[in-house]
Amino acid sequence: MKNLPTQQTRLETQVLNKLSNQDSTLVQLHYSQTIKFGVMNNEDKQELAKLLVKLSYFIGIKEPITIDNLKMLVSFLCTRFPSFTSEQLENAFMMACSGELGGEFEHFQNFSPMYVSKVIRAYETNRFEALKKYTQLNQKHIEQQQEEEKAKNFNPAKANYLILVDEYQRYLRGDYNDLNDIRKLLIKWVVIGMKKINMFLDYNENTDIAYQYIMKYFVSLPKSKEEAVLKIKQDVIQGVSKK
């Protein structure tokens, strides 16, 4: 088989390597820039005819295809399988001969459109499964890359600063005067999270009430909102730098 052509759609090598060699080839040939049957010119069709003759001999058909039947077969393929390619056709017969397509492909010494269609349909079924595997693995690959990018760009100081400032603003609005159980639990998680970055180190989860604890911190901040927010930022940065 000829070398695989340049890919029109960029395929992920890491994902292809996770597929079997057979599935990898099916995927790559599907996305290749090779001329498809439906847009072939006369010269392309002549090359396809030569390939069909070669394949007929390869699978053991003794009598050569007549010129008229060969022309009709080329026309049939270009009409019925316009998105198929010569490389895929060659690969399909290689797979059929090696038993990789599944099923029986007896030609009965007749390289007929029905026989060729049977091989192509079986190939398309295998190609569909290979493309499905690639798509699923590629989606996981994309998600993993996104998670790695998030982790790389994650700024713990900024994240915790924004969380604490948001709670401080809630406190200023009076939200802490009437807290439901869900908010109390959320505040507890905030305090525990701050402890993980070396803030609120004297907080005891077993004895301290989180929302009361954090309110004491807010009371200790400067009266000016701008100065209080700046103090929160300094405290967070200082805590993160100790990790």
Question: In a structure prediction context, what are the per-residue pLDDT tens digits for the chain, which is 243 residues long?
Answer: 444 444 445 788 889 999 999 999 999 999 998 999 999 999 999 999 999 999 999 988 888 889 999 999 999 999 999 999 999 999 999 999 888 887 776 777 888 899 999 999 999 999 999 999 999 999 998 888 887 776 666 567 788 888 899 999 999 999 998 889 999 999 999 999 888 888 899 999 899 999 999 999 999 999 999 999 999 988 888 877 775
Q: Which residue, 54, 78, 77, 75, is CA-closest to 64?
A: 54
Do 100 and 123 fall into the same domain? yes
**Tokens 């996305």 sit on residue:** 31
Do 98 and 162 fall into the same domain? no
**How confident is the model at residue 27, as a pLDDT?**
94
Q: Which residue, 230, 194, 235, 237, is CA-closest to 213?
A: 194
4 domain residue, yes or no = no
Last residue of a domain, one of 136, 152, 168: 152
**How confident is the model at residue 168, as a pLDDT?**
92
Do 78 and 97 fall into the same domain? yes
107 domain residue, yes or no = yes
DSSP assignments along the chain, one per residue: -PPPPPBSSPPPHHHHTTS-HHHHHHHHHHTB-PPBGGG--HHHHHHHHHHHHHHHHHTT--SPPPHHHHHHHHHHHHHH-TT-BHHHHHHHHHHHHTT-S-S----TT---HHHHHHHHHHHHHHHHHHHHHHHHHHHHHHHHHHHHHHHHH--HHHHHHHHHHHHHHHHHHTGGGS--HHHHHHHHHHHHHHHHTTSSTT--TTTS-HHHHHHHHHHHS-SSHHHHHHHHHHHHHHHHHT-
Q: Please give the tally of structural domains in the chain.
A: 2
148 domain residue, yes or no = yes
Per the structure, the complete domain to which residue 147 belongs is given by 13-152
